[in-house]
Chains A and B, each alone.
Chain A
Amino acid sequence: MTNLNSSMPAGSVPAGSVPAGSVPAVSVHGVSRVFAARKGPGVAALNDVSLTVAPGEFVSLIGPSGCGKSTLLRLIADLDTPTSGSVEVFGKPARQARIDQDYGIAFQQAGLLPWRTVAGNIELPLELHGVAKATRRRRAADLIALVGLADFASHYPDQLSGGMQQRVAIARSLAESPSLLLMDEPFGALDEMTRERMQNELVRICAETKAAVVFVTHSIPEAVFLSNRVVVLEARPGRIRSVVDVSLGEMSGRNEDLREDAGFFHSLSQVRDLLHGTEVDANAPRTNAIPTGARGVETR
């Protein structure tokens, strides 16, 4: 799979052309987002948030419901605009980065088009951006192999399990070899076993593609297992409480054994303490340290 970045179509500028190291993948400066309320001052989903993500870095956003982690991701993706502050992606305003297709995105819902096959869904962004049919086919085949769905290329989404659909969505987000991946709880609706397997696959894919990732989750083990840094947010108003460096080594070195590692548990309790730390609200969201079972499907 070393050809993942080489099979980009000629003519379109590969997103990875930004010199690594010089420009951050994402830089968020003093961003606030207030949702207007019918009466009253409105809801501050985010309040003065600043964050920088280096190229190739894996950063998780974690926090209770309503802390604005999804909002922050949507601002980076330019699916929403900040009330104040600036968001830059590879040194460009978020809007320009979206137009230039500098990122790939995956949501909690796979969001596949039910009338297209697995291959058709993965080809969708390439097709929309005018990539030649043969190139498209080849690229989709590579990605289908990457996410381990080689036998299902001509299946339709409703013939696949939730986990498989999510793998298709991830393959689709990788289709244009983005240097930045934005993932909004992509495994949120999966059972714990599928979830851990998907995390292992994501670690492998990230090691291969060298993409920076901003990953929204509310699972502490998931954040720690995947990330270089875990950004802990707090709610009302949404802001960054703390940033935890997870020193568990290179992406390529992470595997199942890491889940038993002492360093893993150390970071785990660090993040957990931060999440629960100054919580006084009796209704504080219960972020279980060790998830015990399948999570409920959020219906958003």
Chain B
Amino acid sequence: MRTTQAGLLQTVLAPIVFGVVVIMLWQGLVTGLAIKAFILPAPFAIGAEFAANLQNVANGMAVTGGNALIGLLTGALLGILFAIVAALTRLVDQMAAPVVAALSVVPIVALAPVLYTMFGAGAETARQLVAALAVFVPVYFNTLKGLRQVRPVHRDLMRAYSVSSWQATRVVTLPTALPFVFTGLRIASSLAVISALIAEYFGGPVGGLGKSITSAASSSNYGLAWAYVLGSIILGLLFYAAALIVEKLITRRP
């Protein structure tokens, strides 16, 4: 355990040192060159705004985070289920391939205005749907790829054991696919936050981080706008870290 603790210290400490250096440089440049706040506020000013509006930022994070989480869970669940079905039946796979490919090139947040009119501008549904769609694509593709990684020798073995296809799926196919599923989930976790946040730019109820950024910027409150940006960065990191922790918990060796 000691080696992993030392490794953890290194992986945590190195980026922190780097971050501190960047922030100091940033602060030095802004004050040294007297850059106006509407171009780039100084990090300490952003920090002060962040601290002063902590409650508002936290509320914004809760709203956007809630949408992202619902989208992530729905999209991931659907992605995994559809991938399993596609892996089991060739027909579904062939039918779904072009649709999913089309879905992956659509800028999904562009659907937000349409969805707002569908579900009403007062509901969060549109944002959750946008997040779910954005999540679906990488989870589906990665899971499907993972489900196809079963080695021929394992397939022979399962046939020799004459087990049901469900048993073979549980014992060999799913464990083989698991690392791929988690790769998809890791990509999807940050996509969910980004999509939910960007979707707020196109309308819908206020309160989320995206709305707060636009309204703070339009009222020339640049420090506050950046404080919300900081909040969204933290939210994205939280989602990514959560996905990573779940992955480690599930794939760890007892």
Contacts and interface: CB of A to CB of B under 8 A. Distances in A.
Interface in A98-120: 98-99, 101, 103, 105, 107, 109, 111, 113, 115
Interface in B154-190: 154, 156-157, 159-163, 167, 171-172, 175
B151 A98 contact: no
A208 to B, nearest CB: 22
Interface stretch (A21-29, A124-132, A258-266): A124-132
Interface in B212-254: 253
Interface residues of A, number: 18
A156 B253 contact: yes
B151 to A, nearest CB: 7
Interface string A214-229: 0000000000000000
Interface residues of B, number: 15
B105 interface: no
B161 A128 contact: yes
B253 A109 contact: no
B153 interface: yes
Nearest to B179: A115
Main SS class of interface, B: helix
B253 A113 contact: no
Main SS class of interface, A: loop
A156 B171 CA distance: 16
Contacts of A124: 161, 171
Interface in A127-141: 128-129
Nearest to A97: B162
Contact of B157 (A78, A111, A156): A111
B175 A113 contact: yes
A51 interface: no
A113 B172 contact: yes
Contacts of B159: 78-79, 98
Contacts of A115: 175, 253
Nearest to B157: A111
Contacts of A128: 161, 163, 167, 171
Contacts of A101: 161-162
B171 A107 contact: no
A79 B156 contact: yes
Contacts of B167: 128
A111 B162 contact: no
B91 to A, nearest CB: 23
A77 interface: yes
A128 B157 CA distance: 12
23 contacts: A77-B160, A78-B159, A79-B156, A79-B159, A79-B160, A98-B159, A99-B162, A101-B161, A101-B162, A107-B153, A107-B156, A107-B157, A111-B153, A111-B154, A111-B157, A115-B175, A124-B161, A124-B171, A125-B161, A128-B161, A128-B167, A128-B171, A129-B161
Interface of A: 77-79, 98-99, 101, 103, 105, 107, 109, 111, 113, 115, 124-125, 128-129, 156
Given A111-B153, A129-B161, 14 more contacts: A78-B159, A79-B160, A107-B157, A109-B151, A111-B156, A111-B157, A113-B172, A113-B175, A115-B175, A115-B253, A124-B161, A125-B161, A128-B167, A128-B171
Interface of B: 151, 153-154, 156-157, 159-163, 167, 171-172, 175, 253
